[in-house]
């Protein structure tokens, strides 16, 4: 049997298992919108831990991470840097979010913010920002799946078919089981990808150089600039500290506020479960170390691989390991892509209905119609992202940073919601719109980005200034209402 067929069959086996787990896991939740979106607020530590870990670690970490380490050296360390503190805000405001969700029945992020500021417009703006950020992120996941299939089957399964196969499975279990499908498949996928990352991260340097130490010693001798922060820019010249630091800052600001992960705060069984998940999150994050090792393993052994995001599948198919192992690797990489893609798809549909359509056009939509609309949107948004993946492929990490610029605009709003009672609806809305507009303008005109500082940072600065100035210039909000949300 040709090797690519073995790889393909092993990968299909993984897809069948994922599909089964995804379909079976949805049987225990209620048929309400709360069941489909928030899993009836019943998730325990293990599932929540893997949802968080696997949703955050995606094709970006699994393919983009080694790709950056391979092509840009220490620049890739920024991915570890922002994760060190990125989720910590959850420890402090997460329990409050969960409690408010229970009390007022929220299942999405914008429902909370819109209620705090009594503004359906904020809900609409957040829905637009979220979906604009989700689509490139989802495209990135689909592109990752397509790349993996294409490279590992040596082109026998083309990009379009690989992406369609993986995301066909995702679509079915998200459509059927909602967040429970996402949660239990993420548990399976998280275990798989962690095992694979540690296995390959330690095996490849040993196989190619005799160990991690000897690998770095050789790189230090032959390409020393690769190992010193802030590493290299996209063109191979030294990256600026401004670009490196602002990539970290914008990612830290946005990390805990991605709507698809923020929504999971509502799914926790209780507050201690939620805090425990945040505490143990670094045990997932540390797996970025072997991910970096994989990328560095390719620097001297496999020069000239383009695009750099394909370095991991390229190494795996070039070192003569058995096709079954290659198939398992393919499954692990798909797990990374699918475990984020499913959460994004699920959140996009929920946000579009709960945060855009309902507050602006049909506030009294029946529960059953809500759930049906969300399911239809799962299919439509999946199709849209697939079309982008086929016709607008860009570097995986560049796409992610584009999304982070928008999501970081939620940071001032979140701070004002929980910690600043004086913030008003007009201030929140003007801050958001200004932040969004400045980010778009600075992204479209790169010459405005002084010292390589990312567009989102300028957006956040404008956002904070407008939020504070307009809030102080307008009448204070109702104190009793605000007291429900703000630290008392």
Partner 1 sequence: MDRRPRLFSSRLTRTERRVYGAVTVFFLLAFLATIWPIQAAFGGALPFVLSLPFDLFYLAAILVGSFFILLGLFVWEGRREERRRPNGRADDADATRGGSA
Between 93 and 386, CB nearer to partner 1: 93
Shortest reach from residue 84's CB to partner 1, in Å: 5
Residue 342 corresponds to which tokens in the numbers above? 């499913």
Between 75 and 163, CB nearer to partner 1: 75
Between 162 and 431, CB nearer to partner 1: 431
Phi, psi torsion values for 457, nearest 5 degrees = -65, -45
Reply yes or no: is the peptide bond before residue 394 cis, omega within 30 of 0. Answer: no
Shortest reach from residue 136's CB to partner 1, in Å: 24
Between 230 and 313, CB nearer to partner 1: 230
Cα-based distances in Å from 169 to 21, 141, 332, 339: 11, 14, 15, 12
Shortest reach from residue 150's CB to partner 1, in Å: 31
Between 56 and 351, CB nearer to partner 1: 56
Shortest reach from residue 212's CB to partner 1, in Å: 4
**Coil, helix or strand for 486?**
coil
**What are the DSSP calls for 64-125, one per residue?**
IHHHHHHHHGGGGHHHHHHHHHTTHHHHHHHHHHHHHHHHHT--SHHHHHHHHTT-HHHHHH
Would you tell me which residues interact with partner 1 (CB under 8 A)? Answer: 74, 77, 80-85, 88, 91-93, 95-96, 99, 211-213, 216-217, 220, 224, 227-230, 241-242, 244-245, 248-249, 252, 270-272, 275-276, 278-280, 282-283, 285-286, 289, 292, 415, 418-422, 472, 476-477, 479, 486-488
**Among the listed residues 75, 60, 57, 74, the one whose alpha carbon sits nearest the alpha carbon of residue 312:** 60
Between 276 and 375, CB nearer to partner 1: 276
How many CA within 13 A on the CB side of residue 147?
29
Separation of first and last alpha carbons in the chain: 68
Q: Where do the H-state alpha helices sit in 352-446?
A: 358-360, 367-391, 396-407, 410-419, 425-444
Shortest reach from residue 445's CB to partner 1, in Å: 24
Asked whether the CA dihedral 18, 19, 21, 22 is positive or negative, the reply is positive
Shortest reach from residue 248's CB to partner 1, in Å: 5
Shortest reach from residue 331's CB to partner 1, in Å: 27
Between 72 and 346, CB nearer to partner 1: 72
Between 380 and 472, CB nearer to partner 1: 472
Between 13 and 476, CB nearer to partner 1: 476
Shortest reach from residue 219's CB to partner 1, in Å: 9
Helix axes 396-407, 65-72, angle to 10 degrees: 110
| Burial bucket for residue 6 (CB in 10 Å: 0-12, 13-18, 19+) | middle
How many CA within 13 A on the CB side of residue 431?
29
**Among the listed residues 433, 431, 405, 406, the one whose alpha carbon sits nearest the alpha carbon of residue 420:** 431
Shortest reach from residue 77's CB to partner 1, in Å: 6
């Amino acid at each position: 049997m040709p090797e690519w067929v073995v790889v393909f069959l092993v990968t299909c086996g993984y897809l069948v298992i994922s599909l089964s787990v995804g379909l079976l896991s949805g049987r225990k939740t209620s048929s309400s919108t709360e069941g489909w979106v928030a899993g009836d607020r019943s998730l325990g530590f293990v599932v929540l831990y893997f949802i968080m870990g696997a949703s955050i670690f995606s094709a970006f970490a699994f393919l983009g991470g080694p790709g950056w380490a391979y092509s840009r050296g220490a620049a890739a360390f920024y991915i570890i840097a922002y994760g060190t503190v990125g989720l910590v805000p959850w420890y402090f405001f997460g329990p409050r979010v969960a409690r408010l969700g229970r009390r007022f029945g929220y299942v999405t992020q914008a429902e909370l913010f819109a209620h705090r500021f009594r503004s359906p417009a904020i809900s609409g703006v957040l829905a637009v920002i979220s979906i604009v950020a989700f689509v490139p992120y989802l495209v990135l996941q689909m592109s990752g799946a397509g790349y993996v299939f294409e490279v590992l089957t040596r082109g026998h399964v083309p990009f379009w078919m690989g992406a369609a196969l993986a995301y066909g499975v995702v679509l079915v279990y998200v459509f059927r089981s909602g967040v429970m499908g996402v949660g239990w498949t993420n548990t399976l996928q998280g275990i798989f990808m962690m095992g694979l990352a540690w296995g390959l991260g330690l095996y490849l340097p040993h196989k190619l150089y005799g160990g991690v130490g000897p690998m770095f010693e050789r790189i230090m001798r032959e390409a020393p600039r690769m190992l010193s922060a802030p590493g290299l820019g996209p063109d191979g010249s030294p990256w600026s500290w401004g670009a490196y630091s602002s990539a970290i800052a914008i990612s830290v600001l946005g990390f805990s506020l991605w709507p698809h992960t923020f929504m999971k705060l509502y799914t926790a069984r209780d507050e201690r479960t939620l805090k425990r998940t945040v505490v143990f999150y670094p045990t997932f994050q540390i797996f970025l170390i072997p991910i970096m090792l994989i990328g560095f393993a390719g620097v001297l052994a496999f020069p000239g691989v383009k695009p750099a995001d394909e370095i991991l599948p390229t190494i795996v198919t070039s070192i003569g390991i058995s096709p079954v192992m290659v198939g398992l690797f393919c499954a692990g990489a798909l797990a990374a892509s699918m475990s984020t893609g499913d959460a994004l798809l699920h959140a996009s549909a929920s946000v579009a209905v709960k945060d855009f359509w309902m507050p602006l056009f049909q506030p009294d939509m029946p529960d059953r119609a809500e759930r049906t609309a969300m399911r239809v949107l799962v299919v439509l948004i999946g199709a849209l992202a697939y079309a982008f993946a086929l016709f607008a492929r860009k570097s995986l990490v560049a796409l992610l940073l584009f999304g982070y610029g928008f999501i970081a605009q939620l940071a001032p709003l979140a701070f004002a919601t929980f910690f600043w009672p004086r913030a008003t609806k007009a201030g929140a809305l003007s801050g958001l719109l200004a932040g969004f507009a400045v980010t778009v303008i600075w992204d479209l005109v790169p010459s405005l980005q002084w010292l390589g500082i990312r567009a989102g940072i300028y957006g956040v600065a404008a956002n904070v200034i407008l939020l504070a100035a307009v809030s102080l210039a307008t009448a204070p909000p109702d104190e009793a209402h605000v007291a429900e949300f703000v630290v008392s």
